[in-house]
């Protein structure tokens, strides 16, 4: 199986007429078994089509025309309008919202995440590329055009969680080349506050029979690695985890932000070296290089080292 | 007429380059503004934009077969088909 | 972005929190005028965006206007951690009975702001939390419902504060919490919050940081405070090289290329995207390389932009070669970046095959990109070569070049490292 998505997942694209959204829609329709994108929303553009997907003014209109609830939404509207778009999705009972937009102020993100919690919904992102279940479905720009995504992702036992969209593909491609496929890969976003952290996704992977190991990509800034370490310790997870930590050089440059907005080191607990220690103390293997990950996974799975 | 950048060459059939309607279509089609219409309706190939060509074929689709040739100068002048 | 103390105090004041009758002066003469207005002993404080003012001599006490002017003149000349002061703050010296701490920060895991309070003010709150945890009160508050006074009261009461102090501090902490939300702060601190001899509570110092992403919608406040759009307020001021990078990035709206950070090495980096750049920068240093810069390409930039970035890096003094590397791309196109970096070399009359140590960008349009690289004889690698291996090859090449030049008289040396030797940094 997979987490969050399967072949039957229906979703919409909010902001579907934007340049990036048009590409993303094409990619999702083409990938795997073909995403069930039941509609798009751009206010004032009702009646248009994007790659055959009908465009509406409101989320409620899409639900009306679909004739029932919709599972998810990919939100790719400018930062000033994102909160409103996400609230619209949540108040129309959409339970999985992938926010692609970057540079959204933290307060807005926190409001969306809090409302999602009240509505029993889940947010992935912001500033993320979405979710992919290899050869089945992708929701978001993750992996790029279907042809490129097919080169990097293959089905298998490894769950991937990454704060960097590009590195989700880099790590998955490395696993694929070594014969280790992925159950689901999730780009969780690079901001300081995000809808779903490692620790919040772990129970889903834990409950997924296909998943036998986890690979994470992490960065300086924030406490979500510490949160993961605590979760693993407290829950006696069955899943071995291999982590890769980028941005070690930032330890020497407090107050500077590189890579993603969330990387700014604001406390003593969120430097790369501190995180590496915490992860290791929780029994998580920290890889020095991406290329070491397949062998470390194979070792933790107890199978012979992959080619 | 033909104009080359470093990586891309653009060749437009002279008859087409003089056809104001065809030139307007080219100008409209190209996402990186390689084609522009002069005041008298003729074609200008904008030198500084030639290398921005994204090989999208939209200019080929907008004009009759063979009217426009996009050449990859780094690949033995292979024409975009 | 961080505010100067005089700005932070102004923000606090606007939120209805009592402050002293302070003034901000850019010259010693102005400082004297403020001291005359205050008419008593004053404190003269350097206005710099860095810590350790007291230790560095950036805070001085004056008995009267004349001394205030003298101290101001000294402090205005004093650089602290390389920062030239913006001016000085002239503060009436208050009789303080007790100092408290009031602050609000984000809790990224709870995804909510948290109020912090301590009856041990004037020192670092993290230190108090470590040594006297029972003197620190904490309370999260909702993003969706405006904070209520009772929530602030609960936080203060945790420290054992009661009586009129509790009732008088409650609205101050609640207002600070509201200001934190309304003004998109990432940190809002009053430390110390002083209880004066006449049982009044007043902010004696304030520290505010606003989220960069929120600057557009806080423009009205920022312009009233006189904070210009061009003030980045980063941990350090941008260098000329970095400003030139911003200009490259601003030339068109297609993608990102140019947001560089300057370092002093010899290997120019044209790298991306967010996570890929962090990984590659670490990798170059792991193999003993000395990067000349950090940068991030992303979002499918134009050829012109990639070219502009490569030119900027290639012409940076001390740069010998560039390494063009990214994690697998799905939006940015391999062929477009290849054209950009090769064009940069050609326009600078440089040989791409010699100047580009390695090109490792697999992904979208790679077949087309590799044809271009083949044509110009540039050394490239596909996805089978890892990010670290690509970085190692780049470092090996530049060290090889430096070593052979090193046979001459005063060519740069590379610390006696042999190529390929792994050096932990």
Exposed e or buried b for every residue in B20-54, given b needs 16+ CB within 10 A? eebbebbbebbebebbeeeeeeebbbbeebbbbbb
| Nearest alpha-carbon partner for A217 in A278, A169, A280 | A169
At residue C425 the predicted structure's pLDDT band, cuts being 50, 70 and 90, is: very low
Residue C414 lies in a domain: no
Look at residue A265 and tell me whether its pLDDT is greater than 70: no
CATH of domain A1-127: 3.40.50.720
What percent of chain A shows pLDDT beyond 70?
A: 96
What pLDDT digit, counting tens, does each position of A120-169 carry?
Answer: 999 999 999 999 999 999 999 999 999 999 999 999 999 999 999 999 99
Domain covering A154-307 assigned CATH 3.40.50.720 in the classification: no
Confidence at residue A306, expressed as pLDDT on a 0 to 100 scale: 53
Q: State whether C156 and C175 are in the same domain.
A: yes
Q: What is the mean pLDDT of residues A259-276?
A: 78
What percent of chain B shows pLDDT beyond 90?
A: 94
Residue where one domain finishes, among candidates C171, C202, C225: C225
Boundaries of domain holding C101 = 96-225
- Distances in Å between the alpha carbon of C139 and those of A49, B44, B46, C127, C153? 49, 67, 62, 19, 10
**CA–CA separation, C56 vs C75, rounded Å?**
10
Residue C120 lies in a domain: yes
The size of chain C, in residues, is 425
DSSP-assigned letter for residue C146: P
Look at residue C416 and tell me whether its pLDDT is greater than 70: no
Q: State whether C282 and C203 are in the same domain.
A: no
Q: State whether C251 and C383 are in the same domain.
A: yes
What percent of chain B shows pLDDT beyond 70?
A: 100
CATH of domain B2-75: 3.30.70.20
At residue C408 the predicted structure's pLDDT band, cuts being 50, 70 and 90, is: very low
Kindly identify which residue of chain A lies nearest to residue C387, measuring between CA atoms: A290
Residue C279 lies in a domain: yes
**Chain-chain contact of B74 with C336 (C-beta, under 8 angstroms):** no
Distance from CA of A208 to the nearest CA of C (A): 24
Q: What is the mean pLDDT of residues C59-88?
A: 95
Q: What is the mean pLDDT of residues A62-85?
A: 97
| Averaged pLDDT of chain A | 94
Distance from CA of B78 to the nearest CA of C (A): 11
Confidence at residue C423, expressed as pLDDT on a 0 to 100 scale: 34
The set of catalytic residues of A is: 260
What pLDDT digit, counting tens, does each position of C178-187 carry?
Answer: 999 999 999 9
Least confident of A17-31, A198-212, C136-150, C401-415: C401-415
Mutation pick from C303, C305, C340, C376 vs chain B, by most beta carbons of B within 10 Å, is C303
| Averaged pLDDT of chain C | 92
**Higher model confidence: residue B4 or residue C82?**
B4
Q: What is the mean pLDDT of residues A8-14?
A: 98
Whether the pTM exceeds 0.95: the reply is no
What pLDDT digit, counting tens, does each position of C114-146 carry?
Answer: 999 999 998 888 889 989 999 999 999 999 999
Q: State whether C152 and C188 are in the same domain.
A: yes
Residue C75 sits in a domain whose CATH number is 3.30.1490.20
Look at residue C65 and tell me whether its pLDDT is greater than 50: yes
Q: Which residues of C touch B52 (CB under 8 A)?
A: 302-304
Q: Which residues of B touch C369 (CB under 8 A)?
A: none
Confidence at residue A259, expressed as pLDDT on a 0 to 100 scale: 77
Residue C315 sits in a domain whose CATH number is 3.40.50.261
Total domains, chain C = 3
Residue C221 lies in a domain: yes
At residue A14 the predicted structure's pLDDT band, cuts being 50, 70 and 90, is: very high
Spell out the long-range contacts of B32-40 with Cβ–Cβ below 8 A and sequence spacing 24 or more. B32/C302, B34/B10, B34/B59, B35/B59
Say if residues C310 and C341 touch (Cβ distance below 8 Å).
yes
Binding-face residues of C in 282-311 toward B, CB within 8 A: 302-304
Q: State whether C131 and C82 are in the same domain.
A: no
Using the structure block, give the residue that is written with the tokens 């309008």: A81
Subunits that touch chain A (at least 3 Cβ pairs < 8 angstroms)?
C
Residue C231 lies in a domain: no
Task: Sheet containing A72-75: give its strands across.
Answer: A49-50, A53-56, A36-41, A10-14, A72-75, A96-99, A122-124
At residue C354 the predicted structure's pLDDT band, cuts being 50, 70 and 90, is: very high
Query: Pseudo-torsion of CA C412, C414, C419, C422, nearest 10°?
Result: -160
Q: What is the mean pLDDT of residues A43-58?
A: 96
Look at residue A307 and tell me whether its pLDDT is greater than 60: no
Residue C5 lies in a domain: no
Q: What is the mean pLDDT of residues A81-88?
A: 98
Give the start-to-end residue ranges of the domains of chain A.
Answer: 1-127, 154-307
Residue C418 lies in a domain: no
Confidence at residue C231, expressed as pLDDT on a 0 to 100 scale: 85
Q: State whether C125 and C247 are in the same domain.
A: no
Kindly identify which residue of chain C lies nearest to residue A193, measuring between CA atoms: C108
Tokens of C400: 């090889």
Q: What is the mean pLDDT of residues A233-253?
A: 94
Confidence at residue C404, expressed as pLDDT on a 0 to 100 scale: 64
Q: Which residues of C touch A103 (CB under 8 A)?
A: 213
Mutation pick from B48, B50, B74 vs chain C, by most beta carbons of C within 10 Å, is B74
Helices (H), C257-415: 274-286, 303-314, 334-347, 352-355, 366-375, 387-405
């Amino acid at each position: 199986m997979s987490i969050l998505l399967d072949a039957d997942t229906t979703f919409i694209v909010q902001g579907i007429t934007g340049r990036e959204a048009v590409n993303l829609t094409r990619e999702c329709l083409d990938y795997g078994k073909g995403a069930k994108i039941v509609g798009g929303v751009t206010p004032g553009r009702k009646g248009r089509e994007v790659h055959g997907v009908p465009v509406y003014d409101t989320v409620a209109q899409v639900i009306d025309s679909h004739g029932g609830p919709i599972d998810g939404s990919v939100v790719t509207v400018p930062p000033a309008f994102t909160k409103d778009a996400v609230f619209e999705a949540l108040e129309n009972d959409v339970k999985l919202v992938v926010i692609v937009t970057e540079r959204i102020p933290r307060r807005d993100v926190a409001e969306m995440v809090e409302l999602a919690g009240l509505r029993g919904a889940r947010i992935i992102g912001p500033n993320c590329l979405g979710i992919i279940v290899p050869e089945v479905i992708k929701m978001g720009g993750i992996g790029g055009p279907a042809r490129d995504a097919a080169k990097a992702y293959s089905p298998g036992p490894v769950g991937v969680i990454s704060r960097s969209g590009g590195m989700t593909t880099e790590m998955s491609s490395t696993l694929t080349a070594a014969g280790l496929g992925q159950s689901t890969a999730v780009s969780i976003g690079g901001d300081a506050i995000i809808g779903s952290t490692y620790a919040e996704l772990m129970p889903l992977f834990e409950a997924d029979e296909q998943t036998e190991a986890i690979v994470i990509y992490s960065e300086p800034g924030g406490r979500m690695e510490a949160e993961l370490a605590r979760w693993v310790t407290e829950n006696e997870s069955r899943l071995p985890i291999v982590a890769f930590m980028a941005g070690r050089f930032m330890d020497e440059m407090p107050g500077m932000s590189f890579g993603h907005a969330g990387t700014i080191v604001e406390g003593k607990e969120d430097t790369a070296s501190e995180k590496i220690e915490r992860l290791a103390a929780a029994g998580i293997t920290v890889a020095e290089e991406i290329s070491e990950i397949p062998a470390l996974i194979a070792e933790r799975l107890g199978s012979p080292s992959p080619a | 007429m033909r104009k080359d950048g470093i990586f891309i060459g653009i060749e437009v059939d002279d008859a087409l380059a003089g056809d104001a309607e065809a030139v307007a279509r080219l100008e409209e089609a190209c996402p990186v503004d390689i084609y522009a219409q002069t005041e008298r309706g003729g074609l200008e190939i904008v030198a500084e934009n030639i290398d921005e060509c994204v090989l999208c074929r939209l200019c080929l689709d907008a004009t009759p077969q063979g009217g426009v040739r996009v050449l990859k100068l780094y690949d033995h002048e292979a024409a975009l088909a | 972005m961080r505010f100067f103390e005089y700005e932070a105090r102004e923000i606090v004041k606007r939120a209805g929190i009592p402050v002293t009758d302070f003034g901000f002066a850019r010259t010693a003469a102005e400082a004297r005028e403020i001291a005359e207005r205050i008419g008593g002993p004053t404190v003269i404080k350097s206005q710099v965006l860095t810590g350790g003012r007291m230790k560095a001599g950036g805070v001085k006490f004056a008995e009267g206007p004349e001394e205030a002017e003298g101290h101001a003149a000294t402090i205005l000349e004093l650089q602290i951690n390389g920062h030239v002061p913006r001016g000085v703050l002239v503060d009436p010296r208050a009789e303080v009975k007790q100092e408290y701490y009031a602050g609000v920060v984000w809790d990224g895991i709870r995804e909510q702001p948290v109020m912090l309070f301590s009856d041990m003010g004037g020192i670092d709150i993290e230190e108090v939390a470590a040594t006297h945890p029972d003197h620190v009160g904490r309370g999260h508050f909702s993003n969706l419902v405006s904070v209520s006074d009772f929530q602030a009261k609960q936080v203060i009461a945790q420290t054992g504060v009661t009586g009129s102090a509790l009732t008088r501090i409650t609205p101050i902490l609640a207002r600070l919490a509201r200001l934190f939300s309304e003004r998109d702060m990432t940190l809002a601190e009053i430390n110390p919050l002083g209880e004066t001899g006449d049982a009044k509570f007043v902010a004696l110092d304030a520290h505010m940081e606003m989220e960069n992403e929120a600057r557009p919608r806080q423009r009205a406040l920022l312009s009233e405070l006189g904070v210009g759009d061009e003030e980045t307020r980063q941990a350090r001021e941008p260098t000329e090289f970095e400003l030139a990078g911003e200009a490259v990035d601003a030339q068109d709206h297609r993608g990102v290329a140019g947001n560089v950070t300057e370092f002093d090495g010899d290997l120019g980096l044209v790298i991306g995207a967010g996570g890929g750049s962090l990984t590659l920068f670490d990798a170059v240093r792991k193999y003993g390389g000395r990067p000349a810069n950090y940068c991030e390409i992303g979002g499918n930039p134009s050829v012109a932009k990639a070219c502009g970035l490569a030119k900027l890096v290639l012409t940076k003094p001390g740069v010998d070669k560039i390494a063009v590397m990214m994690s697998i791309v799905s939006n940015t196109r391999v062929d477009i970046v290849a054209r950009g970096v090769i064009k940069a070399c050609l326009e600078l009359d440089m040989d791409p095959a010699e100047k580009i140590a390695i090109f490792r960008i697999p992904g979208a349009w790679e077949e087309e990109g590799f044809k271009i690289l083949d044509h110009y004889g540039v050394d490239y690698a596909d996805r089978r070569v890892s990010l670290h291996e690509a970085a190692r090859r780049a470092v090996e090449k530049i060290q090889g070049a430096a070593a052979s030049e090193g046979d001459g008289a005063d060519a740069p040396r590379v610390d006696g490292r042999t190529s390929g030797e792994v050096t932990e940094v």
